[in-house]
Amino acid sequence: MPFKKSEQERKTEGTDHLEKKLFIYIQKTVNAEMAPIYQMLNQFARHISKLESRVSDLEKMYAECAAIRERYLEDSACCGNGNSGGAPPVIFQEIKVDKLFIEKFDQANNLGTIGIKELSGHLNIGTTYEKAGLEEAGAETKGEFEEFKEKYKKKMGEMEENGNKDGS
């Protein structure tokens, strides 16, 4: 025997069914609207986890570098280097110059930051000629040089004559 439903029950049953359909529709609509946002949140979460792992790797590398630096500083302090920068010390050597011949004097100072406290002596760079030395030399030295020059000319003349005799 079929049980007859009352009219009230039929009304509530229809509204329940309508509420379920409406709820499903709203849920689908909300899910469709929120799907891109959920995707972006997932991408951000993955990106943040990658960045966190990179930061932890960098922190490890920094700790290793700091430890190496500390060991280096301790080693340099133990050895008595005294150079915290690690640059070798600059050693200046003294240079003595006996004579200085200047052919041309130029007023330009291109030495930069080099300071010269005292300058004495001479410096010959490149080809030097006997005339420059003769101007300052004494009369005795000039005479010796002239004798040497005459002997040289005679010797060269003899060699040329011997060469012409043999060659002709």
- pLDDT exceeds 70 at position 17: yes
Taking the CA atoms of 143, 147, 148 and 152 in sequence, report the sign of the dihedral they define: positive
Please report which confidence band the pLDDT of residue 28 belongs to, taking 50, 70 and 90 as the band edges: very high
**Residue reference for tokens 């570098």:** 65
Look over the chain and give the mean of its residue pLDDT values, rounded to a whole number.
77
Note the pLDDT of residue 115: 64
Note the pLDDT of residue 7: 61
CB proximity list for 37: less than 8 A, separation 6 or greater: none
Note the pLDDT of residue 166: 57
- pLDDT exceeds 50 at position 1: no
Cα–Cα distance between 128 and 145 in angstroms, integer?
16
130 half-sphere exposure, CB direction, 13 A CA radius? 7
- Averaged pLDDT, 113-129: 66
- pLDDT exceeds 50 at position 4: yes
- Averaged pLDDT, 105-114: 58
- pLDDT exceeds 60 at position 101: yes
Note the pLDDT of residue 139: 73
Write out pLDDT tens, residues 42-95.
999 999 999 999 999 999 999 999 999 998 888 877 766 555 556 677 788 888
Note the pLDDT of residue 117: 66
Note the pLDDT of residue 131: 56
Cα–Cα distance between 130 and 144 in angstroms, integer?
13
- pLDDT exceeds 80 at position 146: yes
Cα–Cα distance between 39 and 44 in angstroms, integer?
9
Note the pLDDT of residue 159: 85
- pLDDT exceeds 70 at position 32: yes
